[in-house]
Amino acid sequence: MASKDEVEASMLTAEEHLKDARDAFNEGRFHDCAYHSASAAENTGNALIIALGGRVPRTHRNAEAIEFAATRLQSSWLKSEGFRKMLESLRDLEAHVVKSRYPIKVKEGIFIPPKEYYTEDMAKNMLEKAILVVNVTKHLLASLRSY
């Protein structure tokens, strides 16, 4: 049985990260926007996995776990364009959960801090994807009502 408290706490954490991502974007801190956007999506993914009765993977690869669970438990979701876009956005953001926190290798022997890597366009794209992941997941969680 899924823990309603854990699902709700994960969603609240996601909302906090989403607010922080928006604030960071508005303040021109694009690397922080990237981190908080990816973290919002990851926490949202955690909530959905838990609501489906699964365990959160430690690999920062929630899209795969959600797709697997949906295949077995909510196969109708697989036909939904919103669900497919959510998974695609989540996959795009997953790499940045870690990448946005450490120096980034741009070519052999050359590393730059995240602050120099993430651009305004990248941050905007990531923020939009995080918003989509959060909104679609809220809808999916409401449709479950059993967690």
Over residues 91-106, the pLDDT tens digits come to 999 989 989 999 999 9
- Cα first-last separation, the chain: 7
Q: How confident is the model at residue 2 (pLDDT cuts 50, 70, 90)?
A: low
CA distance to 5, 48, 66, 101, 127, per residue, from 122 (Å): 33, 26, 25, 15, 9
- The pTM of the full predicted model, rounded to 2 decimals, is 0.90
Is domain 4-144 given the CATH code 1.20.120.330 in the classification?
yes
Give the CA-trace dihedral at 58, 138, 20, 85, to 10 degrees: 70
The rounded radius of gyration (Å) of the Cα atoms in the chain is 15
Over residues 27-58, the pLDDT tens digits come to 999 999 999 999 999 999 999 999 988 888 78
Strands (E) located in the chain: 104-107, 110-112
CA distance to 68, 126, 133, per residue, from 81 (Å): 17, 19, 13
DSSP 72-101: HH-GGGGG-HHHHHHHHHHHHHHTHHHHTT
Q: Tell me how far the alpha carbon of residue 60 is from its chain's centroid.
A: 9
Q: Where are the domains of the chain?
A: 4-144
